[in-house]
Amino acid sequence: MFRCSLQGHRRLYSTKPLFPTKTIRTLLSEKPQPNVTIRGWIRSVRQQKQLSFATINDGSTLKGIQAILNDDQPIHKLSTGTCVELQGILATSPGKEQSMELQVNKVKILGECDSTYPLQKKRHTLEFMRTINHLRSRANTGSAVLRIRHAASEGLQKFFANQEFIQVNTPLLTSSDCEGGGEVFSVAPSDFFKKPVYLTVSGQLHAEIMATSMGRVYTFGPVFRAEESMTSRHLAEFWMAEAEMTFIDSLDQLLDVTEASIQQTTQHVMTTCQEDVAFFNQWIDKHLLDKLQKSVDKPFVRMTYTEAIDILQRSKKKFDFPTTWGSSLQSEHERYLVSDDCCGRPVFVTDYPKELKPFYMRDNLDGKTVGCFDLLIPGIGELVGGSMREERYDVLQYKMEMANMNCEDYQWYLDLRKYGSAPHGGYGIGFERLMLWLTGLDNVREVVPIPRWVGHCKY
Ligand code: 4AD
């Protein structure tokens, strides 16, 4: 019975479980016991003369649990995909594949499964699975992705909380274009706000508002880019974790924070999702575990853009795009810098020419470069972008004018430099690219449950 009383100032909560059945993950960590109930979906059924074996999965673990059923059960109705409630005895399994099994004495069918169910007990390609997004997480890769996504988000947020960041929520509707790249989605109806409004490409400018009163803040949410390129690294809707810190004094300090956030998140995923990471190591990338372990054991490499150009020019590799000072680093260049032929681990490239970067990045003393960085990681390329922010009013105003921005529209942003300005900086982690790093998958469309990219917005 639910009890809740006020005694003195203490409130007593009921300890009654909120859910009548435990997850398979929890049950597998407990001792053998009678009278257990599980609920889940049948992944496979194998019928023998007197006994049948069904694998049940409820999304809480990769492998699920093996259920042993006898002739008295309605076995003929138990096809792959059926949703069931099973009662029985949780017993130690004599088999090698699993430690526990469920010896079933009662079956309740919660939802029958039509014979057109497209998932059968065989390996399906990632491309095929993408055509049935609504069933993707019923299979191993899709569900392992979701568990790792959850753990990565938890790891990041844990890192920020430990470092005393405050989570803030930045708007999705905005009248500014943070990156100035023109890849904004316009919001209709256009006369609603009486001015052009877009879906945000980054929460940074708004996060800066809160950093200049709260110190350390972060925001974690979806951002949108009308990105026409159909690459394996680009989505139209993706998630970004963006940190903004006031009172940091140098770019090096910003790199330290970025490095620690990636390393501690990677470690958190490796610790809390061992089974799933091992699955990706076995089926997707045989070097995954090794690569992740190395990245948490060793510091990332740090080099300036100028040094990177020098390395590219001196390498014996032929590149399609120019490697002259002032040109953008292309994917081929980024991949080379992190490859085993060069650094073989994550690399921070810092201090790019100011012409290549947005208006808000702080000018360096050399007059040619800005205090910024891209973090490049093996096999993927750019994972994080960040910079020290221009905190000097006049310099910022000049940079905005040079970028042909309407300073009136951004007066609020300039005001932050007028009313107690402070040195600050921040960075944004592309969450789907982080997921590629953590799973070894090589297309961002595999690591977001319902992907959106140019020409594709199903569901
Ligand atoms: O480098 P970007 O454009 O940086 C910003 O938006 C800054 N305002 C962030 C900040 O300092 N607060 O984007 C950050 C990261 C990239 O490094 C990349 O990982 C990811 O976002 N990214 C994308 N991920 C998927 N699809 C796309 N179209 C992406 N564009 C960028």
Residue 268: what pLDDT?
98
Please name the residue whose Cα sits nearest to atom 7 of ligand 1: 428
What's the average model confidence in pLDDT over 195-218?
96
Tell me if 375 sits within 8 A of 333, measured CB to CB.
Answer: no
The predicted-structure confidence for 433-452, as pLDDT tens digits, reads as follows 999 999 999 999 999 999 99
Q: CA-to-CA distance for 384 and 424, rounded, in angstroms?
A: 17
Q: Which residues, in sequence order, are bridge partners of residue 68? A: 53, 103
Residue 412 pLDDT greater than 50, yes or no: yes
Residues whose beta carbon lies within 6 Å of some atom of ligand 1? 178-179, 202, 204, 225, 227, 234-235, 238, 240, 242, 382-386, 426-428, 430, 432-433, 444
Ligand 1: which atom is nearest the Cα of residue 242? Answer: 12
The predicted-structure confidence for 110-162, as pLDDT tens digits, reads as follows 999 999 999 987 889 999 999 999 999 999 999 999 999 999 999 999 999 99
Residue 99: what pLDDT?
87
Per-residue pLDDT band for 340 (boundaries 50, 70, 90) equals very high
What's the average model confidence in pLDDT over 36-53?
92
Q: CA-to-CA distance for 186 and 226, rounded, in angstroms?
A: 9
What's the average model confidence in pLDDT over 237-248?
97
Per-residue pLDDT band for 10 (boundaries 50, 70, 90) equals low
User: Rounded to the nearest whole angstrom, what is the distance from the C-alpha of residue 250 to the centroid of ligand 1?
Assistant: 21
The predicted-structure confidence for 300-338, as pLDDT tens digits, reads as follows 999 999 999 999 999 989 999 999 999 999 999 999 999
Q: How many CB atoms lie within 10 A of CB 391?
A: 19
Low-confidence winner among 1-5, 211-215, 393-397, 425-429 (lowest mean pLDDT)? 1-5
End-to-end CA distance of the chain: 42
User: Rounded to the nearest whole angstrom, what is the distance from the C-alpha of residue 273 to the centroid of ligand 1?
Assistant: 26
Higher local confidence (pLDDT), 333 or 179: 333
Tell me if 90 sits within 8 A of 33, measured CB to CB.
Answer: yes
Residue 351 pLDDT greater than 90, yes or no: yes
What's the average model confidence in pLDDT over 406-429?
96
Please name the residue whose Cα sits nearest to atom 1 of ligand 1: 385
Per-residue pLDDT band for 1 (boundaries 50, 70, 90) equals very low
What's the average model confidence in pLDDT over 239-264?
97
Q: CA-to-CA distance for 123 and 44, rounded, in angstroms?
A: 13
Residue 40: what pLDDT?
97
| Average pLDDT of the chain, as a whole number | 93
Q: Which residues, in sequence order, are bridge partners of residue 37? A: 87
Q: Ligand 1, residues 210, 229, 238: which to mutate, most atoms within 8 A of Cβ?
A: 238
Is the model's pTM score more than 0.85? Answer: yes
Please name the residue whose Cα sits nearest to atom 28 of ligand 1: 234
Q: Which residues, in sequence order, are bridge partners of residue 16? A: none
User: Rounded to the nearest whole angstrom, what is the distance from the C-alpha of residue 241 to the centroid of ligand 1?
Assistant: 9
Residue 44 pLDDT greater than 90, yes or no: yes
Higher local confidence (pLDDT), 63 or 12: 63
Q: CA-to-CA distance for 175 and 190, rounded, in angstroms?
A: 12
CA atoms within 13 A on the CB side of 285: 17
Low-confidence winner among 58-67, 94-103, 257-266 (lowest mean pLDDT)? 94-103
Domains of the chain from N-terminus onward: 24-119 (2.40.50.140), 137-446 (3.30.930.10)
Q: Ligand 1, residues 202, 230, 413, 424: which to mutate, most atoms within 8 A of Cβ?
A: 202
Residue 8: what pLDDT?
55
Map the chain to HEC letters. Answer: CCCCCEECCEECCCCCCCCCCCCHHHHHCCCCEEEEEEEEEEEEEEECCCEEEEEEECCCCCCCEEEEEECCCCHHHCCCCCEEEEEEEEEECCCCCCCEEEEEEEEEEEECCCCCCCCCCCCCCHHHHHHCHHHHHHCHHHHHHHHHHHHHHHHHHHHHHHCCCEECCCCCEECCCCCCCCCCCECCCCCCCCCCCEECCCCHHHHHHHHHHHCEEEEEEEEECCCCCCCCCCCCEEEEEEEEEECCCCHHHHHHHHHHHHHHHHHHHHHHCHHHHHHHHHHCCCCHHHHHHHHHHCCCEEEEHHHHHHHHHHCCCCCCCCCCCCCCCCHHHHHHHHCCCCCCCCEEEECCEHHHCCCCECECCCCCEECEEEEEECCCEEEEEEEEECCCHHHHHHHHHHCCCCCCCCHHHHHHHHCCCCCEEEEEEEHHHHHHHHHCCCCHHHCCCCCCECCECCC
**Percent over 70 (pLDDT), the chain:** 98
